[in-house]
Structure 1
């Protein structure tokens, strides 16, 4: 890669003739992961794109390093990462948890030993604010685009009066929404609202883990509900 001068005297990299092809290949890998879904393996992606395995592994490692992809908890596959979510939600205002709120989130993760995520609702849109780095969202981009397929997204739809009957029943029974093995048979998720001062839904706390913990969410909710109540005053 050649270099060019920049105003402060440092050398800045410039594109060579071969690099646009590499950029295109990286984008096709991202598209393949989005198409195949979370958990797609390097072999799946190589076969889908007709790329040599060595090239596929190299691109995957670079995309993970730059946070465009994340490895699934079992390390066997890949899912879209935080930077892709940022691109998908670029129209939404940036949001970041204050240090006190991050402390509450950390305590909840330690207590539940599963994926714990925080999202905000604004203008009828969902923004991922803090996704669990150790237990990534199964498909963060799909969560934004198809909220009805996720427990967290179903809370947004309840707030908008657009949820289906099953989500409404879950919320009436548990004060929470659930997703039971619809994206991966062995896994499920549970979500509770984060309330603003007027009692509206400012966002949600979500838990993802083994399917039995979502089928009977009582143990999860004993941690998730009070944590959401503590988080409300810190984020609204």
Structure 2
């Protein structure tokens, strides 16, 4: 149901699940971040009621506040639900990742960025993430976390609530300097004592990193695995149109 249709709908519930769903729909329609006042006008509900429901959705991570507190964006739990639904059908990126896994012989994963953290879009089933919990909690401990920090230089805790650990300023500066030289990020033994990882960015139409394809391998093979950076970059370019279409 569109915002225009809501204005004259006298049956709109002002409490509970019905209003919460209407609010989530309005936020999803505005990728710049809808304000609470805008949402209240669109759904035709009292502003105080909308504020209460919005605060509840933020608390439960269905919404997240913009860093400048000017509005709200979809949160981690909505993005996770979308990923679960998408996983029921074979995604368009699957053949490309399968080919890359076969060619490199290494673990290859696909991630998307959102304003508050990372989303695992495609994990290598045969070679799963070595420490998924730590990877999604601390941006300083993974190559993909490093790349998220590069893509979001102005976003720090608590504006990025999915990260439970904030990266020290000196570490972030070093990550930016290394990325400026390489054009990708790398970590060694930060998640697992015997493994390292390379992350190559996927850019949107405005050249902003919106995700990444990563390659993980043993530390002994990491320098050799660097020869696959070209293949990872080719894959990232091929994935860019899919990222734009799916709105990563």
Question: d(CA) in 1 for partners of 2:120 and 2:139?
Answer: 12
Q: 1:140 to 1:166 in 2, by over 3 A?
A: same
Report SS of the residue matched to 1:225: helix
Partner of 1:187: 195
RMSD: 2.2
Q: In the comparison of the two structures, how many residue pairs are matched?
A: 149
Question: d(CA) in 1 for partners of 2:174 and 2:231?
Answer: 23
Partner of 1:92: 79
Question: d(CA) in 1 for partners of 2:221 and 2:180?
Answer: 19
* Residues 90-148 of structure 1: CA deviation (Å, up to 9, x unaligned): 35352347643111111111111111001111223211110110111111122111122
Residue 116 of structure 1 contacts residue 207 of structure 1 at CA under 8 Å; is this kept in 2? yes
Partner of 1:206: 214
Partner of 1:220: 228
Report SS of the residue matched to 1:138: coil
1:169 counterpart = 2:177: yes
Where does the alignment leave 5 or more consecutive residues of structure 2 unmatched?
A: 1-75, 155-170
Partner of 2:49: none
Question: d(CA) in 1 for partners of 2:120 and 2:142?
Answer: 13
Report SS of the residue matched to 1:92: helix
Deviation at 1:217, TM superposition (A): 5.3
Question: d(CA) in 2 for partners of 1:113 and 1:216?
Answer: 12
Normalised by the size of structure 1, how large is the TM-score? 0.57
Where does the alignment leave 5 or more consecutive residues of structure 1 unmatched?
A: 1-88
Q: 1:173 to 1:214 in 2, by over 3 A?
A: farther
| Deviating 4+ runs (over 2 angstroms) | 89-93, 95-100, 182-186, 212-218
Partner of 2:146: 154
Question: d(CA) in 2 for partners of 1:235 and 1:155?
Answer: 16
Residue 180 of structure 1 contacts residue 215 of structure 1 at CA under 8 Å; is this kept in 2? no
Partner of 1:144: 136
